[in-house]
């Protein structure tokens, strides 16, 4: 079973795949091995996730194997997505040797290879070794629908998609304006786009697609593939962040806005300043996971959870003092699943990463959609226009910023306005649907059982995990 991670430490891809592995182990008695290509020594964060939270030294049902570091010398000024794609290609040879060794040791018990959408080159190895091959989609059904359509769009459309003059229409989904499409498709001359077309065209080679979503959240996006789905789960607490939870314990029920841009997201200095002042103007309670700004890219923490500079130094003068009675600012990381589950949390200002979306929905927390990179703008369209569980602030066209006044208004609207009340009722409906689909007789539980049944004649399945690193 192979898994290719997402950006940076890859937590957005690693965690749902490990949750998937845990369910195969706990409910269907499989064995799982994560095979991890790297571009440097594994980070402490990665080791902690794999060793502390997901593996038991007294139980070898979930193991990790690290491949030799990938060499990226000579590769300059390329998008992160390109590095992700090439990490797989440059790891195929050692991957083959590891899988051959596992095959020799376990004979017919090595039955499956699961990759995420960046890793379809690994299908060739699966075919060589007579393994079933699956794609695990760590994004939404809308993203899967677009991915399946991309090879046809590439042949049919001339020029850049942003020049089409009309939205892209996907099967059973709301139309998506070209500016909200995935980052890698915004420049068709870039290598990242060419690699994405190549890999999405290979989706058809998989024996199956495992989708990390559920129907109630994406009722309009499931028509073509409702038989293959899985609901995600929350990730681990990577370090002691009890300060956040203790602070939340002292706040009124439903009164706190959680602000976080995931493991990779960064704001520009000006935007960080506007967000701080907007939170101050709103008068609402907030818990903000802050990182040092980056004026060049919006995914500046892709390859690190570390702050090279003190992010507090970039906040407006007096901000921490002025807001200390109703706000808490922490650096780099917070126990997101626990924060969203806390009774005091009443809203989530998010980058619209899919794991963050699912975790918020699972706990019935309405959203403010603030997409930054990758597929997040498409997720924002889904959350605001289709699922209707999020608000989205207006961007100032002149400077590309979300102004402090707009931020204050939308935060107040979510936390205490009628629109926020409507979203809260809607997300509660979706939360109840989640509980049904992951229940004993739910559709997600059944889908996983059906997949396990196909492999049941053999006793081991291996996850191959493609990661780079990492600080």
CATH number at residue 365: 3.40.50.2000
Tell me, yes or no, whether 119 and 163 share the same domain: yes
Are 200 and 263 in the same domain? no
Looking at the fold, whether 40 and 160 belong to one and the same domain comes out as yes
Q: Same domain, yes or no, for 268 and 226?
A: no
- Residue 267: partners with Cβ closer than 8 Å, 6 or more residues away: 261, 275, 291, 293, 294, 298
445 with 398, same domain? no
> Do 215 and 291 share a structural domain?
no
Residue 189 lies in domain: 2-231+440-465
Task: Report how far residue 218's alpha carbon sits from residue 401's, in angstroms, rounded to the nearest whole number.
Answer: 29
Residue 295 near residue 268, CB atoms below 8 Å: yes
The yes-or-no answer on residue 180 being catalytic is no
Residues 334, 456 within the same domain:
no
Give the count of beta carbons closer than 10 Å to the beta carbon of residue 103: 17
Task: Quote the tokens at residue 40.
Answer: 């440097």
In a domain, 237, yes or no: no
Maximum Cα interatomic distance, the chain, rounded to a whole number of Å? 65
Strand partners, 345: 256
Residue 448 placed within a domain: yes
Looking at residue 312, its pLDDT comes to: 92
Are 390 and 366 spatial neighbours (Cβ–Cβ below 8 Å)? yes
pLDDT for position 468: 38
C-beta of residue 289 within 8 angstroms of C-beta of residue 334: yes
Q: How far apart are CA 404 and CA 456, in angstroms?
A: 56
Verify that 188 and 96 share a domain, yes or no.
yes
How far, in Å, CA of 190 to CA of 454, rounded? 39
- pLDDT value at position 193? 95
| Residue 470 belongs to a domain | no
Quote the tokens at residue 215.
């129907």
Cβ burial of 44 (10 Å; 0-12, 13-18, 19+) is middle
* Structure confidence at residue 466 (pLDDT): 39
Looking at the structure, tell me whether residues 214 and 320 fall in a common domain.
no
Q: pLDDT value at position 77? A: 67
Q: Are residues 346 and 401 in the same domain?
A: yes
Catalytic residue chosen out of the listed positions 13, 31, 351, 363:
13
67 within some domain: yes
The pair of three-digit structure tokens given for residue 31, joined into one six-digit string: 């064995």
pTM reported for the whole predicted model: 0.78
**Is 471 inside a domain boundary?**
no
Closest-CA residue to 24 (of 46, 54, 51, 4): 54
Q: Are residues 259 and 195 in the same domain?
A: no
38 bridge partner residues: 69
Strand partners, 338: none
Say if residue 417 is in the same domain as residue 355.
yes
The pair of three-digit structure tokens given for residue 327, joined into one six-digit string: 């706000």
Give the span between the Cα atoms of 313 and 293, in whole angstroms. 10
Catalytic residue (choose from 116, 121, 154, 183): 116
Q: What whole-number distance in Å separates Cα of residue 421 and Cα of residue 427?
A: 10
The total number of structural domains in the chain stands at 2
The size of the chain, in residues, is 471
Per-state percent for the chain, helix, strand, coil, to nearest 5:
45, 15, 40
Separation between Cα atoms, residue 18 and residue 170, nearest integer Å: 30
Is 119 a domain residue? yes
Q: Does residue 236 lie within any of the structural domains?
A: no
- Give me the pLDDT at residue 289, please: 95
Low-confidence residues in the chain, pLDDT < 70:
1-10, 51-60, 77, 107-108, 220-242, 300-308, 332, 456-471
- pLDDT computed for residue 2 by the predictor: 39
Whether 169 maps to a domain, the answer reads: yes
Active site residue 28: no
């Amino acid at each position: 079973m192979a898994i290719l991670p997402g950006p940076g430490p890859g937590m957005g891809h690693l965690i749902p795949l490990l949750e998937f592995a845990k369910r195969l182990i706990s409910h269907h008695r499989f064995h799982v091995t994560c095979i991890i290509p790297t571009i440097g020594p594994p980070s402490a964060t990665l080791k902690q996730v794999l060793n502390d939270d997901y593996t038991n030294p007294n139980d070898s049902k979930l193991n990790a194997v690290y491949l030799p570091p990938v060499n990226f010398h000579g590769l300059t000024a390329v998008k992160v997505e390109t590095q992700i794609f090439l990490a797989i290609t440059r790891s195929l040879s050692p991957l083959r040797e590891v899988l051959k060794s596992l095959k020799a040791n376990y004979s017919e018990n090595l039955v499956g290879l699961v990759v995420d959408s960046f890793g379809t080159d690994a299908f060739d190895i699966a075919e060589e070794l007579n393994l079933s091959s699956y794609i695990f989609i760590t994004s939404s059904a809308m993203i899967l629908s677009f991915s399946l359509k991309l090879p046809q769009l590439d042949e049919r459309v001339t020029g850049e998609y942003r020049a089409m003059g009309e939205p892209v229409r996907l099967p059973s989904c709301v139309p998506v304006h070209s500016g909200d499409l995935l980052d890698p498709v915004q420049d068709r001359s870039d290598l990242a786009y060419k690699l994405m077309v190549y890999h999405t065209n290979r989706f058809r080679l998989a024996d199956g697609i495992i989708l990390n979503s559920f129907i109630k959240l994406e009722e309009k996006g499931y028509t073509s593939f409702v038989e293959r789905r899985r609901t995600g789960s929350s990730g681990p607490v990577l370090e002691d962040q009890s300060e956040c939870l203790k602070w939340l314990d002292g706040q009124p029920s439903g009164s706190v806005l959680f602000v976080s841009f995931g493991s990779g997201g960064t704001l520009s200095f000006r935007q960080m300043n506007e967000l701080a002042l907007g939170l101050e103007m709103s008068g609402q309670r907030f818990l903000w996971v802050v990182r040092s700004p980056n004026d060049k890219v919006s995914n500046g923490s892709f390859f690190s959870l570390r702050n090279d500079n003190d992010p507090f130094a970039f906040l407006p003068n007096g901000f921490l003092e002025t807001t200390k009675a109703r706000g808490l600012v922490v650096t780099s990381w917070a126990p997101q699943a626990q924060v969203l589950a806390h009774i005091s949390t009443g809203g989530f200002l998010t980058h619209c990463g899919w794991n963050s979306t699912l975790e918020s929905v699972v706990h019935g927390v309405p959203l403010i959609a603030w997409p930054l990179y990758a597929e997040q703008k498409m997720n924002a369209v889904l959350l605001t226009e289709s699922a209707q569980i999020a608000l989205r602030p207006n961007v100032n066209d002149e400077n590309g910023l979300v102004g402090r006044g707009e931020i204050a208004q939308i935060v107040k609207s979510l936390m205490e306005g009628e629109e926020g009340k409507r979203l809260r009722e809607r997300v509660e409906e979706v939360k109840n649907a989640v509980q049904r689909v992951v229940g004993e007789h739910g559709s997600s539980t059944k889908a996983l059982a059906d997949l396990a049944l196909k492999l049941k004649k053999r006793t081991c399945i291996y996850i191959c995990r493609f990661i780079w690193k990492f600080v």
